[in-house]
Structure 1
Amino acid sequence: MTEAARAAAADPTGTDLGTEVPTDSAGVPHGQPVLDRLVALLDLERIEENIFRGVSPATSSVRVFGGQVAGQSLVAAGRTVPAERRVHSLHAYFIRPGDPSIPIVYEVDRTRDGRSFTTRRVVATQRGKTIFSLSASFQVDEDGIDHADDMPDVPDPETLPTFTERAGDLLEGLGMTQPRPIDVRYVTEPPWESRETGPRAARNQVWMRADGALPDDDLLHVCIAAFASDMTLLDAPLARHGVYWGLDDVVGASLDHAMWFHRRFRADDWLLYDCASPSASGGRGLATGRFFSRDGQLVATVVQEGLLRVNR
């Protein structure tokens, strides 16, 4: 463990990032120390054999970020599964808003341990009430048929501006000035730009990666991807209607979340996140996402429905 990681583990809420933390042109902290905070955040405290406790960053908004509780729940599940069984899918529901000012307790139900598959169910609670539930399935490595969709033809991430460079003076209005452990670079026009030029196709593409180096831990890389998958997914339905968080009267929240992990990947390498929205109705928007590795491999698929109330 690096010195930065040790410091992060001692203060996982990120109340003291220190004086050596790099900042971007907008003064937003990023880089290895910020990523180490995220890794420490996912390193849950074991209370009992099947019970874990997690915290939220001091920089959280009024409710716990959905990707955080999903990532922490998957960590809790994975801590009860042999290392040779890798997670291949998760299905989750966001039930109540989480309070970032108090810890979250994760209780794991060891649903099944079969010869090839292991199933776990995790319930996250605060103040005695369930805020999130997750089911995850793990599998031993097996040989079989193999095919996948081709990766879209997109520019290289190094040729694209960073998130803060793209957002510019809108950072405050977007509420995006907190430390950024994930480097996000838009391929398609960001929704805050398309709202000025008019609605566009319900599609959103970004390159993203953990902003630093991660240890060789398959479960951690999957959990970082689960965390990041909730960051830009609902951009796709909002783009179709030319509105965006913080700039328009939009109320939204993740309702459910599903992921399938097809192939091994590293979350600290560039991943293309290709998202689309096939439908929106009834105050809800459906979004699908595909993660491709830099060499074109389809590594994960995501589906989420979100609450989207737009007051025009």
Structure 2
Amino acid sequence: MSPDDSPDALEDLLDLLDLERIEEDIFRGPSRSAIVPRVFGGQVAAQALVAAGRTVAADRTAHSLHAYFLRAGDPDAPIVYTVDRIRDGRSFTSRRVVAIQHGQPIFHLSASFHTDEDGLEHQSEMPAVPDPETLPTAAESLPEYAGVVGQGVVDRLLKARAAVDLRYVDTPPYGSVGERREPRSRVWFRTAGKLTDDPLLHLCLATYVSDMTLLDPVLLAHGRGGWMTGDVVGASLDHAMWFHRPFRADEWLLYDQMSPTSHGGRGLGQARIFTRDGRLAVSVVQEGVIRVPHEPHDD
């Protein structure tokens, strides 16, 4: 995927998030295949947040979302999003969204929106990391791993992430298979092009990206390469985000991720997203199924 393809890829992603309103609180969104043959979880979460946000007054922005992935999405069928207007209070608005395919729920999300107000102020410090411009792009770094994961995987990954400029600060899990490392991974990301000033759009694009690498630290702790090397299989189970401060998804954001634990076929990822000038913008938590395939036994 060449840099010239990035603007078209971003436009395709924006089209993906531009849901069709088919009833007052019912929306329909297109699907597309992710790197694996199912709908990317970040796509469903972002589309659900779009649906919720389109039923909320413009002076209120999302401050949190909590979601569960129920079934694998079919990339060949559209997704219908039904919005339940739980509450419209003086300061907070609550929405519940169910994503449906083939008559069955595949995902549900609860989101809360808040009017801007003054309050107490403090935050964690942003970790010291290299500037994003000093790090290789995906197009520069991924081909180095073709001998490990295969050229086909590299090509699919470049295509799937063409709308986002995502740069690893540290070696990704598939670059150090067999080497147990600290369960921490940091990446810089931004969209591969400028966006409008719509705050909801920036929140939705950060939601989309947040599902890409959050379980990497679990893999690092065990020297596993993940689905790219076939030494684990897995999927997202649930996802939560808290939006603390305004940010733009078309400007560099640092995604600082870690994993405190994995057990019983599940791994937990926790993360903070900082703006380039050090403001803590988002907190993220996700649990996912992470299973080690059984080795074949000789009879």
Q: Cα deviations across residues 171-225 of structure 1 (Å, max 9, x unaligned)?
A: 52354142411111000121112215x1101000000001101000000000000
Is the CA contact 2:167–2:188 (under 8 Å) kept in the aligned structure 1? yes
Give runs of aligned pairs for residues 1-312 of structure 1, distance below 5 A: 23-24=2-3, 30-57=5-32, 61-168=36-143, 169-170=145-146, 171-173=151-153, 175-179=156-160, 180-195=162-177, 198-244=179-225, 245-311=227-293
- How far is 1:74 from its partner? 0.1
Distance 2:217 2:31 in 1: 27
Q: How many residues align?
A: 286
Distance 1:256 1:235 in 2: 16
Distance 2:203 2:34 in 1: 23
Q: Secondary structure at the match of 1:268?
A: coil
Distance 2:237 2:20 in 1: 26
RMSD, matched Cα: 1.5
Gap runs ≥5 in structure 1: 1-21
Distance 2:173 2:152 in 1: 16
- How far is 1:59 from its partner? 6.5
- How far is 1:249 from its partner? 2.7
The TM-score with structure 2 as length reference comes to 0.92
Is the CA contact 1:173–1:247 (under 8 Å) kept in the aligned structure 2? no
- Flag the 1:51–1:109 CA change in 2: closer, same or farther, 3 A: same
Q: Secondary structure at the match of 2:281?
A: strand
Q: Which amino acid aligns with 1:304?
A: Q
- How far is 1:308 from its partner? 0.3
Is the CA contact 1:59–1:178 (under 8 Å) kept in the aligned structure 2? no
Is the CA contact 2:35–2:157 (under 8 Å) kept in the aligned structure 1? no
Distance 2:251 2:291 in 1: 35
Counterpart in 2 of 1:8?
none
Q: Secondary structure at the match of 2:190?
A: strand
Q: Cα deviations across residues 76-123 of structure 1 (Å, max 9, x unaligned)?
A: 000000010000000000000000100000000000000000000000
Distance 1:246 1:199 in 2: 17
- How far is 1:250 from its partner? 1.4
- How far is 1:31 from its partner? 2.0
Distance 2:217 2:35 in 1: 24
Percent of aligned pairs sharing the same letter:
58
- How far is 1:231 from its partner? 0.5
Distance 2:34 2:285 in 1: 27
The TM-score with structure 1 as length reference comes to 0.89
Q: Cα deviations across residues 262-301 of structure 1 (Å, max 9, x unaligned)?
A: 0000000000000000000000000001000000000000
Q: Which amino acid aligns with 1:242?
A: G
Is the CA contact 2:174–2:228 (under 8 Å) kept in the aligned structure 1? no
Distance 1:228 1:214 in 2: 15
Q: Which amino acid aligns with 1:248?
A: G
Q: Secondary structure at the match of 1:219?
A: helix
Distance 2:209 2:31 in 1: 15
Distance 1:30 1:243 in 2: 31
Q: Cα deviations across residues 105-154 of structure 1 (Å, max 9, x unaligned)?
A: 00000000000000000000001100000000000001000110000000
Gap runs ≥5 in structure 2: none
Is the CA contact 2:252–2:275 (under 8 Å) kept in the aligned structure 1? yes
Q: Secondary structure at the match of 1:209?
A: strand
Q: Which amino acid aligns with 1:173?
A: V
Q: Secondary structure at the match of 2:74?
A: coil
Q: Higher mean Cα deviation, 186-195 or 222-231?
A: 186-195
Q: Which amino acid aligns with 2:234?
A: G
